[in-house]
């Protein structure tokens, strides 16, 4: 079995891989703590694998992790066996699966959302420390359906909800 985060949004470090048990920890990169994780496990067709998240601040929701077998469609796995441990049974025909803390919302999702809503204007609100523009979306006053906001833990769901805005 191979575990990686070599795709947009991916975030994980493999601490130990022993048979059907994977011990994982966050890739904090340049921060001191980060709640987010997203990884792919491949080469596990027909196996049942136990995933252990080794960080006291990393916990699973009551719904467990989100899982996908195609990287596009997602479902909640279900209640985890512990606050930081879950088990996944790979079907015999499923060689890879993606796992994450919540429904992923990536740059490509934002671009598709904006392409379908030409009335929304994109401006740069600020520039990150690494030089990436931070988008500011301007919705014409006559089309405003509400304001979405919240902390980072709510952001993934808010982005998914935002895709449903009825802006031409």
In this model, does residue 166 exceed pLDDT 70? no
From 100, 123, 151, the end of a domain falls on: 100
pLDDT, tens digit, 9 for 90 and up, residues 100-152: 988 888 888 888 988 988 888 899 999 988 898 888 888 877 655 544 444 44
CB 51, CB 98: distance < 8 Å = no
pLDDT, tens digit, 9 for 90 and up, residues 4-57: 999 998 999 999 999 999 999 888 777 777 678 899 999 999 999 999 998 777
The three-class DSSP label of residue 73 is coil
* Domain identity same for 32 and 87: yes
Q: Which domain holds residue 11?
A: 2-100
What total of structural domains would you count in the chain?
Answer: 2
* Domain identity same for 82 and 155: no
From 100, 130, 152, the end of a domain falls on: 100
Report how far apart, in Å, the C-alpha atoms of 64 and of each of 79, 94, 101, 147 are: 5, 20, 8, 28
* Domain identity same for 51 and 123: no
- Structural domain contains residue 167: no
* Domain identity same for 66 and 15: yes
- Structural domain contains residue 123: yes
């Amino acid at each position: 079995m191979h575990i990686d985060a070599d795709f947009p949004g991916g975030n994980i470090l493999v601490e130990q891989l022993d048979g059907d048990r994977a011990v994982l920890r966050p890739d904090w990169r340049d921060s001191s703590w980060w709640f987010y994780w997203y990884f792919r496990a491949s080469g596990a067709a027909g196996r049942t694998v136990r995933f252990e998240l080794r960080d006291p601040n990393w916990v699973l929701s009551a719904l467990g992790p989100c899982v996908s077998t195609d990287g596009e469609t997602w479902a909640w796995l279900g209640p985890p066996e512990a606050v930081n441990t879950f088990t996944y049974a790979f079907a015999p025909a499923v060689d890879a699966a993606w796992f994450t803390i919540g429904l992923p919302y990536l740059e490509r999702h934002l671009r598709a959302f904006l392409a379908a809503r030409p009335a929304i204007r994109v401006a740069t609100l600020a520039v990150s420390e690494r030089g990436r523009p931070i988008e500011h979306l301007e919705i014409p006053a006559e089309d405003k359906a509400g304001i979405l906001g919240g902390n980072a833990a709510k952001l993934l769901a808010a982005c998914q909800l935002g895709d449903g805005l009825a802006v031409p």
